[in-house]
Amino acid sequence: MKIEYLHASKYGNGAKVAAEFDRQMAARGVEVEVHHIREVRPGDLPPADLYLFSSPGRIGKPIGSMRRFLKKIGLPAGTRYALLTTEGAAKPDKKTGQMPTEEEIARWEHVRPIMNEILQGKGLVEVAEDRVLVTGIKGPLEEGWEHKVESFAARIPVEI
């Protein structure tokens, strides 16, 4: 099995997640090619059994370069994909000190739903999705992020 991992890491957090995913899948005998989206043309992606897209979240959306990249990809309908994003961790309310609920977070975090909408609109089929939280604007990643990536990698079907 071959996976093409395409990320849009800005501060290096997405690149760390990609490297860990690559390591986890190599242990399962799966070949992963990791590319920043600046390195490949969206209309000419290398052949793969699965495409994994990763974008940081900015103001609740995938960054603009990733949205534009996804809109330009030319993969055939039925192509399998997965999403593994890096999104900002929720912070307590400054007035009350309370953490937002999952429902409140879902009102402003739309990174994966926007990416899914673009890809599924092209007829692609999702096999897995998850997110790794970033505790500050430039990092670091949440504690235990490696285990989260390991859990995500275990959900990727390695047989076609």
In the prediction, which pLDDT does 160 show? 57
Distance (Å, rounded) from C-alpha 38 to C-alpha 7? 9
Distance (Å, rounded) from C-alpha 31 to C-alpha 33? 7
40-69 pLDDT per residue, tens? 999 999 999 999 999 999 888 999 999 999
Query: Of residues 92 and 16, which shows the higher confidence score?
Result: 16
Name the 3-class secondary structure at 91.
Answer: coil
Helix ranges (DSSP H) in the chain: 13-27, 64-72, 102-108, 111-121, 145-154
Residue 98 has pLDDT above 80, yes or no: yes
CATH code of 2-154, in short, is 3.40.50.360
Query: Of residues 46 and 89, which shows the higher confidence score?
Result: 46
Phi, psi of 83 (to 5 degrees): -125, 135
Q: Integer distance in angstroms from the first to the last C-alpha of the chain?
A: 8
- Mean pLDDT calculated for residue range 62-91: 95
In the prediction, which pLDDT does 22 show? 98
Domain limits of the chain?
2-154
* Average pLDDT over the chain, rounded to an integer: 94
Considering the chain, what percentage of its residues have pLDDT values greater than 70? 99
Prediction pTM value: 0.92
Residue 108 has pLDDT above 60, yes or no: yes
